[in-house]
Structures are given as C-alpha cells and as structure tokens.
Structure 1
Amino acid sequence: MKILVTGGAGYIGSHVVKQLGEKGHEVLTIDNLSTGHKEAVLYGKLEILDLSDKEKLREVIKNFSSDAVMHFAASIEVAESVENPLKYYRNNTANTLNLLEVLQEFGIDKFIFSSTAAVYGEPENVPIKETESLNPINPYGKSKAFVENILRNMSNAYGFKYVSLRYFNVAGADPEGRIGESHNPETHLIPLILKTAKGERENIKIFGTDYPTPDGTAIRDYIHVEDLANAHIVALEYLLNGGESDVFNCGYGHGYSVREVVEAAKKVTGIDFPVEETDRRPGDPAILVADNSKLVNNLNWKPKYDDIEYIIKTAWNWELNKKF
C-alpha cells in the first residue's frame, strides 16, 4: 500500500515509518523538521513541508495518491501549550483541518490519528476506558480533542473512516538502536532520568510524594514505542479491511510509579544518580492507566515489550549511542 505519514521524522512517527517500511509498504513522510530529524526516516521518501502550506500540501498529496494517511505532526509540550495556546490550536487543530480538507478533495478517506490520553483530563475512573468523558485541562489536550470531534463529524457526514489512538506514556527506542527519543527541550521522565544517569543533569526531580498511591508518587502507564507503532499498523490494517471509525487507548493496562521507574533505571544503568523530591505540579493526576481491552480484543493487538526494565534498557542504549 501507499501510506502518507505526517510527522514521520518525529519520535513516534519514525518508529511507525520503520515498521511500515519493514512490511513493504511505500511510504512518503511529510515533516517540517521543526522537531523531527531527517535521519530518523529509515524508509521511503521525505518531503520537507509544513501543513500550513495548503497549496504545496495539495500538490504533494495529488502526486502521491495514498491509500491511507497516518497523522502524527503536532506540537506536544503541555506546559508550552499553557503558555502559548495559539501555537497549539494553529499547529495541532487548524493545520490538521488543512490536511483533512485536502484529503477530502482527493477522495482519500482512511486516516489514523495520533491522539493522547490528555483528552481525558483528570478522569473519574481508572483504568480509563474510551467511553470516559473528554475533559482536557490544557490547550494541548483540547487541541487534540477538537480534532477528534472533527473526525467524528466527518465520519458521520462523509463516510470518512478513521481510527484515533489515545497514547499514554510512550518510552523506549528501536531495539536495534537506529532511532529513538530526541526532543529539545526534553520533558519526558525516562529520558530525563537517563540524562541524569549520564551526568548531563544535576538530578532527577520527583514531583509529589504524597499522592494516594502505594509509595506516594504518581503512577503512569508506560508503553514501549515499538508496541505503540505496532498498534498503528494493526489499526491501519483494520481500516484497509473495511473497519468502521473507532477510538482506542494505547497502553499496557497497568502502571509504574515515578519512584519505581527511578529504581528500575538505577538497576538498568548501574548508576546511583541523585534524586530530589519536591512538591506536586499542578494538574498532575495521581494515576493515569489505560484500559486497553478494546485494542487487545477488537484489533487483536499483542504487545511484545511490556517490561519497564526492557523499555529503559532500549532507551539507555539509544541515549548512549544516539545518532541525532
């Protein structure tokens, strides 16, 4: 199949492009390289393009005539979205609207959307089911929820078929060490821990030790990026085989506390790096864990890397040997 991937030079998109290429699909990546890396695109062609450039986008999509589109291009930093909300509504919502309008022009009607657990906000029920109400508490989550609403409306109005995948905490790297997480600035826990282990940071901070959890620190559902990429592949196959529009959580259905992740990283790296305990951050829920039964049962998703030490091991290998 011919698959168009936006944001395919980024962390998650590049792992999906890799798996698409390994399966023999013809891939075209669109990325403006504002946060992505051209070296991360291991298969197919890369078109350097911003989704705000609708004319150029129209030309590229017309020439490639894809069977489906996988859409990752977005800004992802929660704190930045609070400080600069217009950037997030422009890049994540308005630019997605540009893309969807062009796809409709050319009759491309199969779409995989990179969404987020941030659409739930602070959920009432954990583990979180897809039926939980959407109540995002920051512009990042709201920008993604807007797109989910647009997709739902398009599906009802035009017969457009989409799968929205709501990610929990993505971590790890390509087991072969070719690609991995490379954000600037980095805000995710596991790479920050590993940078501390390398001596690039003074310490790792644990924000809050008084949560209603077994060890007092917040619990999150960490999913290996390779298993997440595979979820996109099974979602794509589902749509290509005539599946109806749907939404799926992407996680393992259980979580690890911040303290557990820190201790696992010390074990994997063999380094007793400094840890500082400090106050909670506003808006951080105590527990965010996916109910993944819908993805497992409906799409027959079979995760391979549900092991926090293995997740950290692949991330550590990338951190020590990263190429970009």
Structure 2
Amino acid sequence: MPWSRIKPDTNEPDFLSDAMPGGPDGRRITYAEAVNEALSQALDLDPRVFVMGQGVDDPSGMFGATRGLHLRHGRERVFDTPLAETALSGVAVGAALGGMRPVYFHNRPDFLLLAMDQLVNHAAKWHYMFGGAACVPLVFWACIGRGWGSAAQHSQALQGLFNHVPGLKLVMPATCFDAKGLMLAAIADDNPVLIIDHRMNFRQRGIVPETPYTVPLGRGVVRRRGRDVTVVAVSHLLAEAFAAAQELAAEEGVEAEIIDPRTLRPLDEELILASVARTGRLVVADTGWKTGGVAAEIAAMVAEKGFDSLRAPVVRVCNPDLPTPSGYTLERAYYVGKDEIKAGILKAARG
C-alpha cells in the first residue's frame, strides 16, 4: 500500500521560536504552503486521492491551501464544485465507498450544515453498520473565519457539534508542522476525518520537513511545561495561550503548562489527565461557544476521570453564546484571546 511508505513523526521543532536554527531540515514555510504540500504529496503518492471544493482552483486557492494544485495534477483530480453541498457530499461519500480517497474543501464550517445528512448519517456510520466490511476514507476540510466582519453565518466554530458524532474523527491543527502531518494522516485514514482549520493559523510560518510524514491522530503534545495550571488550548488559541503563559510567568510567577490536543476526537485523555495530576488546575480555551462545546466535554472528562487531582474548579475560556457580530469593534469584543486566557489562568491559580 502506498501509505505504508509514510512514517509517523511527532518530533516537531519549537513551534513559536523564530530563532530556531534547525529542525528536520530547517526549512520554514507558511501554514498554507504546509497544507498545500501535504495535498500535493498525497496526490503524487496515491492515484485514488482527489481534491474537490468551491474555489480550489481559484487564483487564491482556498486561502493558498490548494493554490496551483490543478495545474500540477490536472483538473480531473483537483476541480471546482458548485454550491450544492448536500449533493456533492453524497458524491464524495460514494467515491470513498467505491475505493477513492476524496478531500472535500469547504470555505466555511457553516456550509457543512448542508452536508450533515451525508456526513453524520452515512459517512460516519457505514464502517460500524457493516461490521467493518465498509470503509469511507474521506476528508472534509473547512476554515473558520474572523477578523474581517465574517459575521453570524460565515464564522461559526462548529467543532462542538461534530465532536458529538461517533465514527467521525475531528482534527484542529495549530502549527505548520501539524497542518501537513495531520492532513496526510487524515487522508491515509480509512474512515471519515473532519479538519476544522482557522484563518488566524494562516498567518504563521514554521519549520516543516519536505518529505512526507504523518502526525498520529489522537495524540496531543505539551507545548510548554508548567507546574501551576494546565491549559488545553484548541487551534489558534494555542499561540494566544502560550503568549499568556509567558507574560504571567514574568508578571505573576505563575507557570502554566500548555497542551495542544491537535485532535479532538479521538482526544488524548491520558496526556491531559497526567498534566492535571501535576498541576491540580485546568483551563480549557476553545474557539467555539461555551455551552455544550469542546471545552465542556474536556472539563467533564477531567471531572469524571481526574476529579481527585483537581484543587480548583475548571475554567472555560470560550466565545459567548451569541451569534458572531460583523462590526469591527463588536467582533473584537466577542472573540477570546490572550487577555481572556490570562484571566482564566489567574482565576484557576487562585481558586
């Protein structure tokens, strides 16, 4: 099988250090280039892989993630799709059931709501319903937007909704290294994987090996060691949490341990529980809504399995339970970031 040639790699360089001199090959590329390279290598590696989605062959190429792929690999394997998410999701599911490995790009997670029947009722359940005899090797990708007035219908962070679905793996990368490695791991997986990315991640540059590699699904990583508070930070809030921890260490002497879960389903529960056992306190920072979301699930998991370790109530740092406003000042007030995470860490540390 072609995918057996790709080896897992979890030895990521320091993801926030601009002074990092090396790494696997010392090459620094943008987040978009990392996703693009993963797709190109998957297309080279396996003739069953194809990329579809609205605007994947545009000059901008889905924020740069798919730019130029149709020129390198042909329009038969990288092609634009109409605004018909329900029908095209059915095409993708059927192709996966037939032995292909489609990667379906959506501009926004909001549009995935039109694909819920195909993704939740069909793709996520076939492997179980047919006793393992059927596989659906399918990747759905969507990107959360913020910072330019994308408003209530184009910026929803719906990971909490999809995290509820058995049979569906859920990935939210935070670094350039993981953007490539998790994409390749998702394409190699024999059942459906949803990748929810974030526009803020596309501002990054990071050290990424040129050779193909995978980052195992379900394995998180400690990004910063600390003794006082555990912070589980999802997607681009990882960088915000890291900055908050650095400032608090200098200002208050509070040392926060920062965990990047990388995948939300499966979740690396052992990593989180081990950290909470050391610190006794937990803050969860998520880009979605608070009620019934990812932060609630992680908090409940720790309360259920690590209650004896907790020395203070769990703190959740999430967006308010409101539709996203479009005005610039309202949007700035709506989204959580470094300052809210700092306040959450201090609340947990002093609780």
TM-score bracket, shorter-length normalisation: 0.3 to 0.5
TM-score normalised by length of structure 1: 0.36
Provide the TM-score with structure 2 as the length reference.
0.33
